[in-house]
Structure 1
């Protein structure tokens, strides 16, 4: 039987981060991964999406600079696919190289299951089974079950979702996206930048979308995306989704399918996706995108050791501790996952258990970056006691702290806001504050201003800065009301 002080289950984004934090302290660590280093973060969602978003922005710039270039779609698909795969492969090799430098880290590829609250059995890929005793186990494997959204007929059509869309292998002619969310807005712009005609359907009213964003930021997003040609349908109930055939000569998406007179073969019948709403209106698209619903599927034997869980994840305290005191969970495996507090959770955990002669902590995010913008070189861990949501668009939007409506709901009519801008930069800042004590409660940043001032927003909330002090600071940077 093996023994390790710390066992980490899952080598995705969260698992790699906590692994590096512990290993860099000189602590004895075992990392268990069922598939490969990087998980869905590297091989299906987060990182491929980041790459495709960057490439799509460059694609727009090339088309704007050379409007008569007429880039071939098949060549574009091939280029994007190769580009994403190459960068994923490079990141994978880099991660493996970083992990290999820790002599106090062992990696086992296999599926883990609890035998007792201090012993795991691991079914390795080579068919061998090994038992591992541990002091602390950290569950960082994410939610593994995916189900389709509840729309009639959706199971019968080819569906794009968050785990099959970002390797650049498909650029739809037209794309229907079901639901307005942070992720779906980012996806809509990625494909719009690549030349896809995008339409977003949502069953709610405009004022109900993006509950973590301020209304001012939402309006800014919608105006910019509408200008890019993205269409929105709100308050729309979807009755059913089905496949239809498009014959030559049929009008679909305002385009007529015709035979090429120079071609020796007739035009092919094309399968399209049709959405029918409650009013029996039909909308037809080449592709459909809907975010698959992810849930926690218990395969670790948690019941045997008294760890409570549901399909939403593993129950834990605000520090990540489960109902078993030596078993912890971080990231999306938790039923109360909040990105804003996970960084502090991991830092506190490492600080609590590092040895007296441990190496200096390496908190430079060389493996992964938890916070979204402008802190790639951060060396200080900050305690987020507030929410933030960053929407990564060509013209991004971030809400840090309380949006205006939530601030009014919490503190009443004493809430005020100022709009601040810079003549030389696109975008603006909305500062939400308490009129009585002048303390800032939240920020909304948009466009270039968002990326430039994001870290200022965060530090201002941490230090409970007043509106006067904040304005004095940024007015010296060329901003004004």
Structure 2
């Protein structure tokens, strides 16, 4: 048995930074990873998907070259080279992450599958090598999540794709059916439409992005319609069949029964926490009804000395929040700084459709549900100078402010580089900058950010 000060299961976006921080205190850390350093983000999440989305955007811009006075001939999308470029970026990021860990002298990387034996011991199964048993005073779990497969008749017998396997395609689908109209489904749907596929997105919700305000959904729907992406909402998938190389999804909606047939099927119906194969129940770790590991403010589970962070612990499912979990956990557990808390923290996110959809704080539906009074402002990109100059005029900026304090309650940015603008508003919220100060702030011209002047000037004096 090898003994350490801490064992971390999962080298993802909580596990890696936490290992480095603990190591920097002169403590020994065993970092166990069963698949690849970097977790979902680097290997089959953020990095590869956004790399492919960049290729799709280039294809889209080439198709629009004439709008900018540039004449080009016919072009083709080489899916093999798109995949090759994606692999290059993943290898680059994964290698960088591994080198960063190697610089931490107190971190020992162990490749294998971890199973808890007790509140202090972990059994590691290693392919082609003898198993190990490790012990530590503290155990941290950062095993993330995996694509969820819904129970639909016939699905298991069909060669469907998930958000990982679709990025390994070496051919452009003739007709891609996307089951799931959430953020993942929208990103891949638009991406492959721009690669040249016919795309149909299907979802049981009454509209796309149902967690967003209605006007956001309507604008995204218009953008997708303009790009000839078909959408079917308020449907229930009843059966999937595979015949003569084609996949058919039979569904039911308010009008009765229908079906869609395509060459490929992407199942993007959410993710499930990777908590099932860790031996948690045997050592008494409590799970929630959704399968997440239940934790307290210190990220500690029901078993003292065992902690969980990131997706598997039910934190907001974003890389930056997993990274922030590591920051909070380290400071609370090892530095004794309990003033830092995950409670009521701002959760920014960006959906990398084009234009980007970025959110911070409350939207209108949430404010109404909580009974929070607000004023709102909205500024359309079709009136923004920078957007007109670049011919990227889809979408809008939207902000909610407190009528009394003039503080920003939240914002939705649906625009080119929306995530960058959202970060500016996030910093204003953290710094408690009143909205009307931003309204009169001299922001460099001509930039997209200067539209924040216009946005704050549009704040209405009537409650929403």
Report the TM-score when normalising by structure 1. 0.80
SS in 1 for 2:377: strand
2:357 to 397, 402, 412: 397
Alignment partner, residue 232 of structure 1: 231
Partners of 2:355 and 2:3 lie apart in 1 by 50
Distance 2:211 2:109 in 1: 38
> Comparing 191-200 with 334-343, which one deviates more in the overlay?
334-343
Give the Cα separation in 2 of the matches to 1:107 and 1:458.
36
Q: Greater Rg, structure 1 or structure 2?
A: 1
Question: In the TM superposition, what is the alpha-carbon distance from 1:199 to its structure 2 partner?
Answer: 1.1
Change (3 A) 1:392 1:474: farther
CA contact (8 A) 1:7 1:136 kept: yes
Q: Provide the C-alpha distance between the structure 1 equivalents of 2:431 and 2:217, rounded to a whole number of angstroms.
A: 27
Instruction: Go from structure 1 to structure 2 and tell me whether the alpha carbon gap of 1:166 and 1:244 turns closer, same or farther (over 3 Å shift).
Output: same
1:36 aligns to what?
36
The more displaced of 132-141 and 87-96 is: 87-96
State the Cα distance separating 1:139 from its structure 2 match.
Answer: 0.4
Distance 2:432 2:213 in 1: 20
What is the aligned counterpart of 1:406 among 346, 355, 366? 366
Does 1:430 find its partner at 2:398?
yes
> Could you tell me how far apart the structure 2 residues matched to 1:205 and 1:172 are?
27
CA distance in 1, matches of 2:377, 2:84: 46
Alpha-carbon spacing, 1:114–1:456, altered in 2? closer, same or farther (3 Å): same
Which of the residues 369, 379, 383 maps onto 1:420?
379
In terms of mean alpha carbon deviation, does 132-141 or 427-436 score higher? 427-436
Find 2:246's aligned residue among 254, 272, 289.
Answer: 272
Are 2:10 and 1:5 aligned? no
Question: Which position in structure 1 is the counterpart of 2:126?
Answer: 124
Shift of 1:343: 4.0
The 3 A distance-change label for structure 1 pair 232 and 105 is same
CA distance in 2, matches of 1:221, 1:423: 21
Q: Identify the residue that residue 331 of structure 2 maps to in structure 1.
A: 351
What is the Cα deviation at residue 49 of structure 1?
1.5
Judged with a 3 Å threshold, the aligned counterparts in structure 2 of structure 1 residues 301 and 6 are, in CA distance, closer, same or farther, namely same
Alignment of 1:306 with 2:280, yes or no, is no
Deviations 1:228-258 (A, max 9, x none): 111112223334222344xxxxxxxxxxxxx
What is the CA–CA distance in structure 2 between the aligned matches of 1:161 and 1:103, rounded to whole Å? Answer: 37
Provide the C-alpha distance between the structure 2 equivalents of 1:411 and 1:403, rounded to a whole number of angstroms.
12
Output aligned runs, 1:160-239, within 5 Å: 160-206=161-207, 209-239=208-238
Deviations 1:82-123 (A, max 9, x none): 222222222222222222211111111222222321222323
Quick check: 1:79 aligned with 2:53?
Answer: no
3-state SS of paired residue (2:166): coil
SS in 2 for 1:200: strand
C-alpha separation in 2, matches of 1:88 and 1:200: 27
**Secondary structure at 2:14's aligned position in 1?**
helix
Q: CA RMSD in A?
A: 2.9
Q: Does 1:283 align with 2:260?
A: yes
Q: TM-score, normalising length from structure 2?
A: 0.83
Separation of aligned partners in 1, 2:362 and 2:273: 28
Shift of 1:173: 0.8
Equivalent residue of 1:314, what SS? coil
Unpaired runs of at least 5, structure 1 = 246-270, 357-380
Supply the distance in 2 between the matched residues of 1:384 and 1:456 (Cα, whole angstroms). Answer: 19
Are 2:299 and 1:320 equivalent residues in the alignment? yes
Tell me the SS of whatever aligns to 1:48: helix
- How far residue 417 of structure 1 moved from its aligned partner, in angstroms, is 0.4
Q: Residue in 1 aligned with 2:74?
A: 69
Structure 1 residues 474 and 223, CA gap change in structure 2 (3 angstroms): farther
Alignment partners' CA distance in 2, 1:448 and 1:384: 28
Q: Is the 8 A contact 1:308 1:314 kept in 2?
A: yes
- CA contact 1:27–1:355 (8 Å) conserved in 2: no
Instruction: Give the corresponding residue for 1:445.
Output: 413
Cα distance 1:24–1:192, how it changes in 2: closer, same or farther (>3 A)?
A: farther
Distance 2:221 2:428 in 1: 28
In structure 2, the CA distance between the partners of 1:84 and 1:216, relative to structure 1 (3 Å rule), is same
* Aligned equivalents of 1:382, 1:302: Cα separation in 2: 24
Which residue is 2:430 aligned to? 462
The superposition leaves residues 277-304 of structure 1 with CA deviations (integer Å, 9 ceiling, x where unpaired) of 3333332211111126534443333234
Deviations 1:316-368 (A, max 9, x none): 12432111221110112114555475444321222245579xxxxxxxxxxxx
* Structure ranking higher on relative contact order (CA contacts 8 Å, 6+ apart): 1
Q: Which secondary structure state, in structure 1, belongs to the residue aligned with residue 165 of structure 2?
A: coil
Secondary structure of the residue aligned to 1:87 is helix
1:142 Cα deviation (Å)?
2.3
Counterpart contact for 1:52–1:168, Cα < 8 Å: no
Per-residue Cα deviation, 1:139-175 (whole angstroms, up to 9, x for no partner): 011246x652232222232211112011342421111
In structure 2, distance between residues paired with 1:124 and 1:155: 29
The alignment covers a number of residue pairs equal to 426
**Structure 2 counterpart of 1:89, from 69, 88, 91:** 91
Change (3 A) 1:400 1:149: same
